Amino acid sequence: MPELPEVETMRRGIASIVGSRIEDLRIPPSPLRPITIKPPLAEFRRRIVGRTVASVGRVGKRVVVELDSADRIAIEPRMTGRVLLGRPPDGKHLRLVFELSRSQPGRPAEQLMFWDSRGLGVARLLTPEEFDRHLGNSKLGPDALEITADELRRRLGRSRRAVKVALLDQSVLAGVGNLYASEILHRARVHPAVPCRRIRPIQWSRIHAAMLEILHEAIAMQGSTLADGMYRTVDGESGRFQEFHFVYQRAGQVCRQCRRARIVRIVQSQRSSFYCPKCQRWRG
């Protein structure tokens, strides 16, 4: 499931479209229900055709394509979405095709595609005002790679929520999802169900440090491709960070850290959490 490292890998993978002109936007024929795009296709197309890609960025778990009109295209892959440049895995789940002109003479024309198996993904075209409203500071917390340890503690230190649940709250910090939240807390040696207000300053420092380490390592490995094989890089390659998972989807297996206890799965807020009962004591 694309979280910050996977979305950042997608962003880097399509960075070559900067300078290209958008010639068309199509929704390919498919028996599946079309994904959500806002505004609807006709207006979306009218506002982007003829515009040039000014930059390709990322906000939390969204890829953000900024145009020379100052409008931005925000693509949310959610569970199974993939951003591609041509060559989708199949046509059935191909949801959007942005036809691009060649950005420089001699370079081939490109097609920016959004492919999504389950179709939970969303694409939005946002004016600067809408961008602030949807992806601005009041809606989303600081990026997980930017937030400081003090800011993290300031935002969560008095909360009664379980720390694992709180780390998933995108209004607290943007980019951490279910997989990396479990991995971060394992490296920080903090039990996922501990209320934030019971976490000591030294533990917040460990959580923050573990978060930066893991996210940077995962980006370097081009993200995590799980057993379902759903996530791929723009080039169709698997990520490699799954080889370095210590707890995620490892319930019942011996902990790679202590080599003694077995990983436990619990459900928090209707999502699976994984932890080592020996490495992650309630009072770390």
Separation of alpha carbons 152 and 172, rounded Å: 8
Q: Does 165 bind DNA (CB under 7 A)?
A: yes
Q: How far apart (Å, rounded) are the C-alpha atoms in residues 80 and 70?
A: 28
Q: What is the 8-class DSSP label of residue 161?
A: S
**Binding status of residue 168 toward DNA by CB under 7 A:** yes
Cβ pair 144, 174 in contact under 8 A: yes
- DSSP-H helix ranges across 136-282: 149-156, 163-167, 178-188, 201-220
Q: Which stretch binds DNA (CB under 7 A): 94-102, 118-126, 216-224, 237-245?
A: 118-126
Among positions 5, 13, 60, 223, the unique one binding DNA when judged by CB under 7 A? 60
What is the nearest approach in angstroms of DNA to the Cβ of residue 89?
10
Minimum Å distance from CB 121 to DNA?
9
Binding track over 16-35 against DNA, x by CB under 7 A: ----------------xx--
Catalytic residues: 2-3, 61, 271
Helix, strand or coil, per DSSP, at residue 132: helix
Question: Residue 156 and residue 167: Cα distance in Å, rounded?
Answer: 9
Q: Is 284 exposed, middle or buried (0-12, 13-18, 19+ CB in 10 A)?
A: middle
Residue 198 interacts with DNA (CB under 7 A)?
no
Task: Write down the least CB distance from residue 63 to DNA, Å.
Answer: 12
C-beta neighbour count of 107 within 10 angstroms: 12
Q: How far is the CB of 12 from DNA (least distance, A)?
A: 19
* Candidate residues 177, 192, 223, 239; the one interacting with DNA per rule CB under 7 A: 177
Which residues sit at the interface with DNA, rule CB under 7 A?
1, 3, 32-33, 60-61, 76, 78-79, 92-93, 117-120, 134, 139, 159-162, 165-166, 168, 170, 177-179, 228, 269-272
